[in-house]
A and B are shown apart, each in its own frame.
Chain A
Amino acid sequence: DVKVTQSSRYLVKRTGEKVFLECVQDMDHENMFWYRQDPGLGLRLIYFSYDVKMKEKGDIPEGYSVSREKKERFSLILESASTNQTSMYLCASSLNQRNEQFFGPGTRLTVL
């Protein structure tokens, strides 16, 4: 089975801090995705990557950046966390040209 792991289940940070969310997949998938999930808004795509060092903006990239130095790892970075970035963050991966995405358990981030 594909396994997607995320570095933390729960995270509490202060406004202005730099925050790193890490995601690792073990099935050699080319594509990796970061979403945020908010009540009433569903899942919104922040960034995705289709290869090492390649990235594309999703629907809501403002305030975020990403890094993919190795195929199995995709990091989401909040350069200066703000309270409106309090949310559930979900990472996913998929094979190239396949839509079935495999999700991690999520990180619930609270910014105080």
Chain B
Amino acid sequence: GDSVTQMEGPVTLSEEAFLTINCTYTATGYPSLFWYVQYPGEGLQLLLKATKADDKGSNKGFEATYRKETTSFHLEKGSVQVSDSAVYFCALGRRANSKLTFGKGITLSVRP
């Protein structure tokens, strides 16, 4: 079955540091890939998505590229801010059944 693996956390960075959060998936065919973010005390919100191989999703300075050859969808940001402190979830979806498979999430803390 489908699965998503995220790097172990938590991650602590200084403001303006470069961020990479790794995500790999196991799935047949061509799923869609997502990054969701959960700020403290809130529900999840969609950060970015990619629906086919080599697509790049981007939002709020974050980027991720759908790499089918390495089955990866790593999240990157060139310069993190304190306000980026949150939990980040990688997810995989299939249009046929509308369900999402989530990774375990990783907590990012950015210090001033």
A residues lining the B interface (CB < 8 Å): 4, 31, 33, 40-43, 45, 48, 50, 90, 92, 94, 96-106
Report which of A40, A99, A106 forms a contact with B95, defined as CB distance below 8 A.
Answer: A99
| Residue pair B99, A97 in contact (C-beta under 8 Å) | no
B residues lining the A interface (CB < 8 Å): 32, 34, 36, 41-46, 49, 89, 93-96, 98-100, 102-105
CB nearest neighbor in B for A98: B98
Q: How distant is the Cα of A48 from the Cα of B102 in the complex, in angstroms?
A: 15
A-B contacts besides A42-B89, A103-B44, 8 pairs, CB < 8 Å? A4-B43, A33-B99, A42-B103, A42-B105, A94-B98, A97-B98, A99-B34, A104-B43
Report which of B32, B42, B45, B104 forms a contact with A99, defined as CB distance below 8 A.
Answer: B32
